[in-house]
Structure 1
């Protein structure tokens, strides 16, 4: 699901790094792995539990940001002789390295997720595993959970299998390069099929009533010896790649529901009040949203390269609040089984290097296909996983919010008093002189107050930056 990504290009300013370091301290983010955890990781990296099935002949490739080295997923796509498609999707087999009940396992339960800061990350597992021995780096044999998902000519799932296998990726690709190859018609067939299958899965999503939010990334860029915030709009290849992961999460949920035991990623439908507020934001940003048009249809019509569309897509993420994890056992039908944004049952199973629950979901899917009971260590931990994941996800969300505030303040701290062009995107009902403004340049959304008249909702407004101090105060604007 979408998150506000934040990246630093070039060396960050000292106040920014100091504020981020203070944030890590305040949130009790583990600074490094204990010596016994690193020692166990070294032993595991030297002697992983390797599977019997050899799939190294399949020409897998990965698609990730250029600097990423914690590679969870690799794929190979092909047409089926009788029509339709076959997706081979290899997921890093973390259980081949992590012994249940060991120090690595305990540390992963303490961390729960990888935390991403603009200047560095705090990984779920030691780097010699997550960026080394367990990562699906090119030209290296790796243990993996190998998914085989067959699709018909319309992109609907017809069969699913998952097993342990040894795999070897052939290429580490990035989104821009993938987009160029596909657009130019130079991509090999397995890569070229990403557009065909991704587009079909997007059409399946529309038919289900689901929605993927193409939320622009905020990037910190350096030019003329200063730093600014800009937006990076997702490429079509970003969406096609995401559809393969969503496909696997949906297939995994189907396996679990048929098996009678599992853990789903769930999201209730947004309450009417949240939708009403979003409609008000749409009006403020001049987004056409007729009352008879569903929310999903409006979102699909947006262009994240347009500033007002980008701002609205960010507002749309508020409807994703309330997502959680639902455990079910003994063939008891879970009360909530659907993820409202996916519009289908769905599970997290494709990012075990970065998210704790995925290791367990993968094991449950393996057991479902084999018709066996889940491993004892999975069954014992299952009931407590939703609470663990809720705490870890909450911390990750706090990191995301606070990092945005810190970065904005750090990059604007020398511009207090300057006037900017902005759009008023929200106004407090009981305090009409207080609200939120969206700046296109730099890419900032912030609070505004201090005026003596109601803010003009949806209108352009010149605003003055009144405060920006990384680590102590959030940025604040006032009418100019």
Structure 2
């Protein structure tokens, strides 16, 4: 799972937004251009990939991503079998291009992951690899880690194998286009199978007490000469496809836990105070959360097609902030599960965009081949949690700064207007300062009062500041 929310700004060429993006990148000292030696190494590697002997280009794999995506990590094929279902999931083999200690490897360790902020993406690897030779583009023979997972009729995994293979994707598809064909009844039969698997996996998730958070995409657009901030609800197809990624991450974790070597993605149980804060948020947004309904049940009750429900899902990402990684060799970590999934899990399906996935894939390939994990991978495992924690912190800073910029740009023309909302947080050291959720547009921002803020109360607030240059949006209690 990821807490990253894609933020798209249209039109992308707006001068205020463009300058704000440059300021953010400078302030955070983000790694924009790759050093010349890294670009040179990438070009050389792109021309000389290490192709495996096994040829599985016979599998009718396709990629499914947001429209326009070129960094294609995964290609998919699913089918029914006499015993249930078979999933083929090909993952881009970055290790076919990157060698331990080479310029590409060292730069990837410095970056950790691809950073997303509006349409300004800062990639983990040079584009000649991430959007070219290593990407699972259609009609191209590519090196991949081919996961084959057998499921029983209930969707439970019963066998897993991963090995290096040459694969060829048949098509580069996007969610909106395929969903449209599914809804019209004209989609290829494979998508009906994916739906069955996705829904079965979701039921299994519910039965073990887990919950997948359907993270929203936020969009800033111009309507009648006014900036508008809105949430885009996820398509059902996105949820079904996410279940395949989660299935693979759980299968990878299973292999590593059995062998007692590898790296897990972990998340401790949520703080009860955080749950209570979310209950207040739900009330503010007018969303019913019955006292007897637990958090997973509440998440499942939300409708991602409703703007306020998507705003609620965004608020719920606060419970994922304790996520981390735990490396192990011989003894499992004390905290080995991911509480939101109620399972052991790891990241393994996005090596073009996340450093750690290259290593988890390498470990699992070795384990399935009944070979020792390569020394270079074992040596790197202990340092990966800190590397990924640092890159995750940088990614969160970037995402938050871009969102603050977008919100300030949206609200800048409306300074002085009165909005409806509710107080969801009061500062411990100053009862006149806190946080308000405004219903339209659905955002959180700082708010001040003069005689104590009424926690949980419906209020009217005046927008007193919305400055894209400083990325500050601030309200005060009206009247």
* TM-score between both structures, scaled by the size of structure 1: 0.95
Q: Which residue pairs with 2:74 in the alignment? A: 73
Residues 449 and 326 of structure 1: CA distance in aligned 2, closer, same or farther (over 3 Å): same
Q: Which residue pairs with 1:470 in the alignment? A: 468
Q: Between 141-150 and 431-440, report the one with greater CA deviation.
A: 431-440
Q: Which residue pairs with 1:264 in the alignment? A: 264
Q: Which residue pairs with 2:417 in the alignment? A: 418
- 1:54-111 superposed Cα distances (whole Å, 9 cap, x missing partner): 111111111111021111011001011x231000000000000011110010000011
Q: CA deviation at 1:424?
A: 4.0
For 1:75, what is the secondary structure of its paired residue? strand
Q: Which residue pairs with 1:402 in the alignment? A: 401
Q: Between 319-328 and 437-446, report the one with greater CA deviation.
A: 437-446
The 5 Å alignment of 1:425-440 reads 425-428=424-427, 431=430, 433-440=432-439
Q: Which residue pairs with 2:14 in the alignment? A: 13
Q: Which residue pairs with 2:228 in the alignment? A: 228
Residues 423 and 453 in structure 2, CA contact (< 8 A), matched pair in contact too: no
Aligned length: 477
Residues 161 and 369 in structure 1, CA contact (< 8 A), matched pair in contact too: yes
The 5 Å alignment of 1:317-332 reads 317-330=317-330, 332=331
Q: CA deviation at 1:428?
A: 4.4
The 5 Å alignment of 1:8-407 reads 8-80=9-81, 82-330=82-330, 332-407=331-406
Residues 61 and 76 in structure 1, CA contact (< 8 A), matched pair in contact too: yes
Q: Distance in 2 between matches of 1:271 and 1:454?
A: 24
Residues 269 and 390 of structure 1: CA distance in aligned 2, closer, same or farther (over 3 Å): same
Residues 467 and 473 in structure 1, CA contact (< 8 A), matched pair in contact too: no
- 1:17-68 superposed Cα distances (whole Å, 9 cap, x missing partner): 1121111111111120111111110110001000111111111111111021
Q: Between 417-426 and 236-245, report the one with greater CA deviation.
A: 417-426
Q: CA deviation at 1:412?
A: 2.3
Q: Between 212-221 and 363-372, report the one with greater CA deviation.
A: 212-221
Residues 21 and 346 of structure 1: CA distance in aligned 2, closer, same or farther (over 3 Å): same
Residues 419 and 462 in structure 1, CA contact (< 8 A), matched pair in contact too: yes
Q: Distance in 1 between matches of 2:326 and 2:443?
A: 35
Q: CA deviation at 1:236?
A: 1.1
Q: Distance in 2 between matches of 1:430 and 1:28?
A: 32
For 1:76, what is the secondary structure of its paired residue? strand
Q: Distance in 1 between matches of 2:447 and 2:318?
A: 20
For 1:475, what is the secondary structure of its paired residue? strand
Q: Distance in 2 between matches of 1:441 and 1:231?
A: 12
Q: Between 245-254 and 312-321, report the one with greater CA deviation.
A: 312-321
Unaligned 5+ runs, structure 1:
none
For 2:143, what is the secondary structure of its paired residue? strand
Residues 433 and 451 in structure 1, CA contact (< 8 A), matched pair in contact too: yes
Q: Between 103-112 and 447-456, report the one with greater CA deviation.
A: 447-456
Residues 227 and 409 in structure 2, CA contact (< 8 A), matched pair in contact too: no
Q: CA deviation at 1:400?
A: 1.1
Residues 447 and 475 in structure 2, CA contact (< 8 A), matched pair in contact too: yes
Q: CA deviation at 1:279?
A: 2.8
- 1:185-207 superposed Cα distances (whole Å, 9 cap, x missing partner): 22212222111111111111101
Residues 268 and 322 in structure 1, CA contact (< 8 A), matched pair in contact too: yes
Unaligned 5+ runs, structure 2:
none
For 2:338, what is the secondary structure of its paired residue? coil
Q: Between 58-67 and 147-156, report the one with greater CA deviation.
A: 58-67
Q: Distance in 1 between matches of 2:85 and 2:10?
A: 39
Residues 146 and 162 in structure 2, CA contact (< 8 A), matched pair in contact too: yes
What is the RMSD computed on CA atoms of the aligned residues? Answer: 1.8
Q: Distance in 1 between matches of 2:469 and 2:389?
A: 26
Q: Distance in 1 between matches of 2:436 and 2:68?
A: 33
Q: Distance in 1 between matches of 2:235 and 2:244?
A: 15
- 1:264-316 superposed Cα distances (whole Å, 9 cap, x missing partner): 00011112222232233333334333343221011100113334423322221
Q: Distance in 1 between matches of 2:453 and 2:116?
A: 38
Q: Distance in 2 between matches of 1:146 and 1:277?
A: 43
Residues 285 and 439 in structure 2, CA contact (< 8 A), matched pair in contact too: no
Residues 230 and 441 in structure 1, CA contact (< 8 A), matched pair in contact too: no
For 2:198, what is the secondary structure of its paired residue? helix
